[in-house]
Structure 1
Amino acid sequence: MQARVFFATITGNNEDVADVIVAAFKAANVDVIKEDIQLIDPQDINKDETDIVVVVPYTFDNGSLPDEALDFYEDLADTDLSGMVYGVSGSGDDFYGDDFAVAIDKFEQQFEKTGAIKGASGVKVNLSPDQAATKALQDFTQSLIETAKSQDK
């Protein structure tokens, strides 16, 4: 099984989130690659080589998507990822109230257009992952793996 984790970060918090997810994949003996989202074109994701796609975006300002993830986000709507499992988790700042980590919700809505299968509900981390968030991210990753295993490829 192969997973790819695409992240965007300014402060390093989201890379910390991605690192927890990557470690959980590795602990489950899943081959995983962590990549900067701005270097990825969703249309180049090979369905024969990728079972699980995880996006780790941060949210800034009043619910804005990361600038470095905008091209990926926009291209995602026109990408066929049928049969792949996806998940979205990331950091935000609960100071922003209703706009807290809404980039996760926006990416989940965009993934729905691709034909991919939602493998787990997104995990919203306040700033950097603490012990509770780390456990939630590990459970998120395990759910992605279980969903991928249940799919006929």
Structure 2
Amino acid sequence: MNASCLIVYSSMTGNTEEIANLIGEGIQKTDGSVTIKDILEVDVTDLQDYDGILLGAYTWGDGELPDEYLDFYHEMDQLNLTGKIAAAFGSCDSSYEHHGGAVDILAKKLAELGADIVLEGLKIDLSPTETGIEQCIKFGHSFVEKLLFS
């Protein structure tokens, strides 16, 4: 079975985009197919066309979603994601009180819409280090395993 995954991300400095691409690499190494789209290039209904959904965002301000994610986030309310496997990720800054708040917001929204959250949100501090790179690839690999064997 080929697991189809969609990664949707927003990135200001390129960190979250790098994380998205590394997760995608992990998915492909596990024989999953992956489509990676910037938040501004995706329609919310696209989420229904994939077996697995990964949403990523950097955390803005006091633990919030970035502005460019807000319309998409609110439009998600029209979806029923029951039967979908999902997870959230993002670049974070540990110097802020709400470390990776956007990751938690996205995971909560996916769960509210019926998706099965199969991995704890991946929070990478700023830009992925060598260890972070391995974490991202493993996250993609683990996601496909959960998708195939759930």
Both structures adopt the same fold (TM-score exceeding 0.5): yes
Percent of aligned pairs sharing the same letter: 28
The 8 Å contact of residues 121 and 140 in structure 1, kept in 2 or not, is answered as no
Which residue number in structure 2 is paired with residue 86 of structure 1?
86
Deviates most, 109-118 or 37-46:
37-46
- SS of the equivalent of 1:145 reads helix
Which residue number in structure 2 is paired with residue 20 of structure 1?
22
Within 5 Å, give how 1:33-52 maps onto structure 2.
Answer: 33-47=35-49, 50-52=50-52
The 8 Å contact of residues 29 and 141 in structure 2, kept in 1 or not, is answered as no
Within 5 Å, give how 1:4-153 maps onto structure 2.
Answer: 4-47=6-49, 50-96=50-96, 98-151=97-150
- Give the distance between the partners of 2:46 and 2:21, measured in 1 at CA: 23
- Give the distance between the partners of 1:127 and 1:118, measured in 2 at CA: 24
Structure 1 residue 93 displacement after superposition: 1.1
| Number of matched pairs | 148
Structure 1 residue 78 displacement after superposition: 2.9
The 8 Å contact of residues 27 and 143 in structure 2, kept in 1 or not, is answered as no
- Give the distance between the partners of 1:32 and 1:139, measured in 2 at CA: 15
Q: Given residue 150 of structure 1, which amino acid in structure 2 is its aligned partner? A: F
- Give the distance between the partners of 2:67 and 2:118, measured in 1 at CA: 26
- Give the distance between the partners of 1:142 and 1:7, measured in 2 at CA: 18
Q: Which runs of 5+ in 2 are unaligned?
A: none
Q: TM-score, normalised by structure 1?
A: 0.89
- SS of the equivalent of 2:95 reads helix
Q: Given residue 114 of structure 1, which amino acid in structure 2 is its aligned partner? A: L
- Give the distance between the partners of 1:4 and 1:20, measured in 2 at CA: 13
